[in-house]
Structure 1
């Protein structure tokens, strides 16, 4: 939860206190996101808030865990009225595994000591396959990590080159085997629609990923974000923009191959081996529960309030060292905005959206969506909006029909 461009918002007090009248509900699930903003190389398609070594003037990577620990202490003061153990913890980035296992374990210990970690909690670390070893994965498991999400993206060399990915595809299997030996759940992440990628290239990547028998697979369509190297190359005519029709074929292919291998879709871009292996942390985002995002550029949501931290690691650490909240701004979405977000997010998941959550004037749109093959008729009769596969490809159109 750390995009590179921060929205505008209202100012946040120096102590980070929530607005008057906002009291977090003690019975709502609470998640923790820890952003690790470091990468060896900036991928051409990525617009997340990440930094390579030469972009870190005024900041030492080794000091980062201490800054996060300071924000965790601040969060304890802000949330003192409603202490809740973390149901999920997610280390994202960037490449979290560029930090030592001691650094990652230390931040996890700070969460545990401050909030507690619920029994059976899901604790995930994102990893580049070149940045882990069987030994480091075993140490992460010993520190309390339960799940690793490995950025595979593709097995085809020219596709990886188009994405500026530098890892050796052969290292993915080594990373998966190491995670398995450490007793960790394994997720594999793929991206489709890169310049020059064919349907058969994509088939090779999905087939290779499924051959590793991960517990979970994510497959994301490449989106061209303004300001990225890839966007500039497309504008210059150096490479072609993603083809929407080809991306749709690629989505249908991954959905067919995962189903044949025994995986169930549970969110538009995610499949798992049964419900026990779904990403509980990401489901918490889609269901709108509470989470605190630690780190530069990280976003948080507690009690209906949203805020986001300053972007650069040096500015983030400096504010915390001065006892000042690192939050750059915040907002309290109004009822209309919250409803739109709920429809947008909950319609993406397999359980769908309660039809009675849709404004009364728009519920009649369900009949047209059924007729167009975009939502499941049987589920609609039971009072839920559940996307068909065609609906997953046209999810934005479904949201528009239910909100406009």
Structure 2
């Protein structure tokens, strides 16, 4: 089961936002996230808000899409004429590749008619290797999806087995080749480092295999095991052994070395892009989160942020859909952030970026502490910005914690 939602105040039934939040909507880029909460099976490490057929009591993908279209109408009413056209769209899950290309097209057409899509909008979908076919790839391009994010996770069968991933190690690489043939020129692969039983050689093999198909972008995340997952239970019973912090650090340093040698540039702690053809190939949608832009998250459990108001939807698809069917917001709770909370969030997010954090965001006492991570080789000050070093990226959370008032 996915983790508990945060506490918060009630969301008005009509989903309306404070006038102060709407004042800034037209001046900051707007993004859309669409959550597809369906999976054919649950991976042992997964804590995302996803559901297998047996957990939905007959609820179908078509039922879910009806609710999503209703939320798009709700968002258009709430944001009104103040909203900019969408600069990025991201379809995530779950397993978005369980949708048909026609269903993708209907969602994008609805977003386009309600908000407009920028001419250079980045439109990404996640995809599972085993449910992605050449026909689907052709259809996705035809309806306007222009970026593909594939979950590879590992090139080693025993590592995939610990993660309960159902695809074979080479399937993600086959899909990359099929996507190139279809015409995709912006492809990302997701890898997970630090799975129990994964050696440093296993991780190197995963990096090498991923690079063999020349992706444009790589996300390399350290595995986080949440309570309530099957993998957490296996670790607790001693069936598999959780790797040490040194193991994670060694794999991260290897990642930086291998990807840098291959022409990739780190732009966020866990993300690397290979600039080519005049395109940086960074995930513009993820940058929108890290840079504090506005986004509306559509779907059960999805989170949104507009003008300093953050809210989250009911998690279960039935409750989410029932609220919208009754003409009410699916929002389960929200927070209205004050200036100090928004400032702290800037520190938490922007210091993870390669561009660093403007010193002007810090308080006077925080600026006085900048010398400590700099003296320890964890950060540097460049052009009035605080930028983490490679060692600092390994300890990013600790650097931020020690820096903040």
- Normalised by the length of structure 2, the TM-score is 0.96
Q: Deviations over 1:28-83 (max 9, x none)?
A: 10000000001111111111100011011152222222211100000000000413
Equivalent residue for 1:392? 393
Taking the aligned partners of 1:133 and 1:256, their CA distance within structure 2 comes to 33
1:222 and 1:242 in contact (8 A); partners too: no
Equivalent residue for 1:342? 346
Equivalent residue for 1:124? 124
Taking the aligned partners of 2:124 and 2:2, their CA distance within structure 1 comes to 19
Bigger Cα displacement from structure 2, 202-211 vs 180-189: 180-189
Alignment of 1:196 with 2:197, yes or no, is yes
Deviation at 1:371, TM superposition (A): 1.2
Equivalent residue for 1:276? 280
Equivalent residue for 1:142? 142
Provide the aligned length of Structure 1 versus Structure 2: 400
Q: Deviations over 1:305-347 (max 9, x none)?
A: 0000001111111111111110001011223322221101000
Alignment of 1:355 with 2:359, yes or no, is yes
Equivalent residue for 2:88? 88
1:348 and 1:392 in contact (8 A); partners too: yes
Partner of 1:233, secondary structure, is: helix
Taking the aligned partners of 2:82 and 2:19, their CA distance within structure 1 comes to 15
Bigger Cα displacement from structure 2, 326-335 vs 141-150: 326-335
Taking the aligned partners of 1:33 and 1:252, their CA distance within structure 2 comes to 31
Equivalent residue for 1:27? 27
Taking the aligned partners of 1:85 and 1:58, their CA distance within structure 2 comes to 36
1:215 and 1:277 in contact (8 A); partners too: yes
Alignment of 1:103 with 2:103, yes or no, is yes
Deviation at 1:3, TM superposition (A): 6.1
Deviation at 1:20, TM superposition (A): 4.4
Deviation at 1:4, TM superposition (A): 4.0
Bigger Cα displacement from structure 2, 181-190 vs 88-97: 181-190
1:362 and 1:401 in contact (8 A); partners too: no
Aligned counterparts, 1:8-27, within 5 A: 8-23=7-22, 24-27=24-27
2:91 and 2:124 in contact (8 A); partners too: yes
Uncovered stretches (5+) of structure 1, i.e. residues with no partner: none
Bigger Cα displacement from structure 2, 360-369 vs 246-255: 360-369
Equivalent residue for 2:67? 67
Aligned counterparts, 1:234-245, within 5 A: 234-245=235-246
Equivalent residue for 1:38? 38
2:25 and 2:84 in contact (8 A); partners too: no
- Name segments (4+ residues, structure 1) moved above 3 Å: none
Equivalent residue for 2:310? 306
Q: Deviations over 1:185-220 (max 9, x none)?
A: 100000011110000000000110011100000000
Partner of 1:190, secondary structure, is: strand
Taking the aligned partners of 2:231 and 2:2, their CA distance within structure 1 comes to 17
1:187 and 1:215 in contact (8 A); partners too: yes
Uncovered stretches (5+) of structure 2, i.e. residues with no partner: none
Question: In angstroms, what is the RMSD of aligned CA positions?
Answer: 1.3
Q: Deviations over 1:368-402 (max 9, x none)?
A: 211111012xxx14211111110000001210222
Q: 1:340 to 1:21 in 2, by over 3 A?
A: closer
Taking the aligned partners of 2:369 and 2:168, their CA distance within structure 1 comes to 48
Alignment of 1:317 with 2:321, yes or no, is yes
1:58 and 1:314 in contact (8 A); partners too: no
Partner of 1:80, secondary structure, is: helix
Equivalent residue for 1:210? 211
Alignment of 1:5 with 2:4, yes or no, is yes
Bigger Cα displacement from structure 2, 364-373 vs 390-399: 364-373
2:308 and 2:338 in contact (8 A); partners too: no
1:4 and 1:311 in contact (8 A); partners too: no
Equivalent residue for 1:259? 260
Taking the aligned partners of 1:337 and 1:214, their CA distance within structure 2 comes to 37
1:130 and 1:171 in contact (8 A); partners too: yes
Deviation at 1:287, TM superposition (A): 0.4
1:65 and 1:106 in contact (8 A); partners too: no
Taking the aligned partners of 1:341 and 1:3, their CA distance within structure 2 comes to 23
